[in-house]
Structure 1
């Protein structure tokens, strides 16, 4: 099984990567059983929300290598115009293109890991949703994963219309945990061009690696004892080796990015009992101020309630009491209603973005 092979990569890196420090390899061995459990849960959930197809996406900056991505397509066809259409006409209309990037601390995860959200987004919005993988730490460190997802995005902009009749000019993104960080790097890479990102939503996204995990402020409600604290060095294996060199790099620290390089419409879903709460709320608050100034300079006096294709829109919501990764956990372990709200709000937000750029879902009988 793909998920088993992917999970055992941790063991392979621990045993067959002599260039890694012994301490790192020891931590990988400790991580392996946890990874098997996590991957099994992700794979099991993904069976309930199956993807439509799988592809290998070549990496432009690393010739000869590719990453695996899974595709979620809506079961019914949609239209990208508000004008009445006949069924044959509707079926030729282009769908929005959405790229999702999974989390996993940069050292693991599956593209199927966010199947619940990706499948629901495809079905309710009509978008073609591509969920991608990338190369993992500790063998690969910054900027490898960031370059990988930028290569994936470039491949999609060039091929999405041919492969799925999807319009890369209506491109939106989502990211879970470090996937949110990678998604914002994709947006920066495409900023100002033909395929500039129109919308983005993050779930517990990491936006600032200038501090290692053990120095990030703990919010109220954070567990007094972190059972995974012994693995914190691994969580820093991607960004930590060259932290001083990369301290001002907005690709790794999107909290430093200029708002003009970020998606036009952004929604941040923040877990209240997460060490990422502080950095996420600070970034969202800063962007809300910047958005008002940015819009006023362009003659838009107020930020609209929903995306309109003209204004820059920034929204953030804190889900109190929720821990990091809660949206990806099995239903018995989380507040299902809060997760439903987080996913529902994000899907509605992305649908509003699609609508602002001329796409409206039409259900076919």
Structure 2
């Protein structure tokens, strides 16, 4: 099945109109990213009593800057795994402050310790700065999980949403290429895996179907890329667009969760298919009727609860067969 052959969304036109009311304002990310950062932090404030967290710092390999990491403890720890989380925001917005509610929810709903990485952002720090920070933290925690207030025997699972899902894939590829121990498992939520989001040239139907409305637009994604990787010729490389990688063997067991009404839906599922073809164990689950960014929604959200049902099954080792027919 090709992306263009896939059955159209079952969401009716009334629901679609309501969903469009929640679409992101049409900003020029290149000019307004600082405003977006401030707004995200203001919207994400949680009383300290709502979560248990510890802030730590990991130094970069050359010692020229610290990498902040916020470690969230669940109210009831039910699993030994540490979820090493890379936040979304197009590599330009988002941080451990704006993602504190989402990470507190992640800790409570999985029963795992969650370590959120405050990697450097573009345009102040373009590619590969953010990836380098994520790699540094991943290498150290994989070697010694106790750095995240966990038992030394705890398994570290890589997790990321959107641009953070992209970083998750890139970290796993880079660790393999370095000959360094990688994670046994990884979870990507509506990840960016390709570099082209122009509806005229993109190979994915979801870019054309959902790139002009709802939560995220193709214009915004392209603007994020311009800030993250200013040189267009440098975007079609595996550590920026993992789907173009020629070699995808020896990757962690993977869960990819996509959102039906997200322009990134098809490329996320295509990455799952590519990983499967390379011999990796992969589960792909599409959340019907969901918008991009649903992991940051309140805990009562249907999309969020469905995603965590799948995540918990994956962590328990009994994830269901892929519920989305991956394209590509």
- Classify the TM-score, shorter chain: 0.7 to 0.9
1:163 and 1:106 map into 2 onto residues whose CA distance is: 23
Q: 2:284 aligns with which of 316, 333, 345?
A: 316
- The structure with the largest helix share of the pair is 1
Shift of residue 287 of structure 1? Answer: 2.5
**Offset, 1:250:** 1.5
Deviations, residues 10-57 of structure 1 (Å, cap 9, x unaligned): xxxxxxxxxxxxxxxx8555344433322222234x857524201122
The equivalent residue for 1:200 is: 186
For 1:182-201, what aligned pairs fall within 5 Å after superposition? 182-191=167-176, 195-201=181-187
Give the corresponding residue for 2:274: 286
What's the counterpart of residue 98 of structure 1? 83
Aligned residue number for residue 21 of structure 2? none
Residues 1:111 and 2:96 are matched in the alignment: yes
Which residue of structure 1 aligns with residue 293 of structure 2? 325
TM-score (norm 1): 0.67
CA 232–215 in structure 1, closer or farther in 2 if over 3 Å, else same: farther
Which residue number corresponds to residue 256 of structure 1? 244
TM-score calculated relative to the size of structure 2: 0.74
Q: Secondary structure at the match of 2:232?
A: coil
Aligned CA RMSD, in angstroms, stands at: 3.4
The answer to whether the 8 Å contact 2:74/2:107 transfers is yes
Q: Distance in 2 between matches of 1:236 and 1:137?
A: 9
Q: What secondary structure sits across from 1:202 in the alignment?
A: strand
Q: Matched residue of 2:226: which SS?
A: coil
Is contact 2:82-2:150 (8 Å) kept?
no
Q: Which runs of 5+ in 2 are unaligned?
A: 1-27, 319-328
Judge conservation of contact 1:271–1:318 (CA < 8 Å) in 2. Answer: yes
Gaps of 5+ in 1: 1-25, 80-94, 295-311, 354-365
SS at match of 1:154: helix
Instruction: Evaluate the alpha carbon distance shift between residue 244 and residue 158 of structure 1 in structure 2; reply closer, same or farther with a 3 A threshold.
Output: same
- Which residue matches 1:309? none
Larger Rg: 1
How many angstroms apart in 1 are the aligned matches of 2:171 and 2:185?
12
CA distance in 1, matches of 2:260, 2:76: 37
Per-residue Cα deviation, 1:318-341 (whole angstroms, up to 9, x for no partner): 22332221221456xxx8112101
Return the alpha-carbon distance in structure 2 between the equivalents of residues 136 and 37 of structure 1.
16
How far the C-alpha of 1:111 sits from its partner, in A, is 1.9
- Of the three residues 270, 274, 277, the one matched with 2:265 is 277
Match of 1:130 among 82, 106, 115: 115
Measured after TM superposition, the shift of residue 161 of structure 1 is 2.4
Q: What residue is the counterpart of 2:38 in the other structure?
A: 36
Asked if the contact 1:213–1:232 (Cα under 8 Å) also holds between the matched residues in 2, the reply is no
Matching of residue 242 in structure 1 with residue 231 in structure 2: yes
Q: What secondary structure sits across from 2:285 in the alignment?
A: strand
Paired position in structure 2 for 1:268: 256
8 Å contact kept, 2:248–2:274: no
Distance verdict in 2 for CA 1:221–1:163, change over 3 Å: closer
Contact 1:169 1:194 (C-alpha < 8 Å) held by counterparts: no
